[in-house]
Amino acid sequence: MSNIDAMSRVALKKITPDVSAAMGSLHGAAVSAAQDAKVEPELLELIRIRASQINGCAFCLDMHTKDARAQGETEQRIYALNAWRETPFFTERERAALALTEAVTLVHDGHVPDAVYAEAAQVFDEEQLAALIWAATVINAYNRIAIATRMVPGAYQPAQKKN
């Protein structure tokens, strides 16, 4: 039996600050790439929420639903995101990004099928596709970090918008 409490998990930022900083830099670079490619911040939040739903990451769901609301996303769309295919609430562009996000998140189940990629390539240019793939990859990594270290949801608040 370990001397570590069953609920206690490693504090990655404290123990491996350089790796944590590198992850933050990767996130920042992915956000910059999306901005440069003119991918809407609201779409990035949908990607983050959807991947976090699939992965069961409560911490990231708490964070990104709050961020989405702060950017003007509706409760109806957030609630329906888990069943986006069954709703009329999402645009063709959003649907393509969500399908690509699901394929990247569930890469073990189909290896990002050609049909999913082709659908996304019809509504996004290469720079935007690259940004979407990075966004999905980064949130999947963050989901794994938050789940593995049992980060507790609830306290996060979005930054106030500057006027």
Q: What is the DSSP string of 25-77?
A: HHHHHHHHHHHHTT--HHHHHHHHHHHHHHHT-HHHHHHHHHHHHHTT--HHH
Q: Where are the domains positioned within the chain? A: 12-148
pTM equals: 0.91
Distance CA 150, CA 6 (A): 11
Q: Are the CB atoms for 130 and 38 separated by under 8 Å?
A: no
Q: pLDDT of the chain along its 163 residues, tens only?
A: 444 445 678 999 999 999 999 999 999 999 999 999 999 999 999 999 999 999 999 999 999 999 999 999 999 999 999 999 999 999 999 999 999 999 999 999 989 999 999 999 999 999 999 999 999 999 999 999 999 999 989 899 998 765 4
CATH number for 12-148: choose from 1.10.10.410, 1.20.1290.10, 1.10.240.10, 3.40.50.2000. 1.20.1290.10
Q: Are 120 and 149 in contact (CB under 8 A)?
A: no
Q: How far apart are CA 138 and CA 135, in angstroms?
A: 5
Q: Give per-residue burial for 43-58: e unless 16+ CB within 10 Å, then b.
A: bbbbbbbbbbbebebb
Task: Give which of 91, 146, 157 is closest to 124, Cα–Cα.
Answer: 91
157, amino acid identity = Q
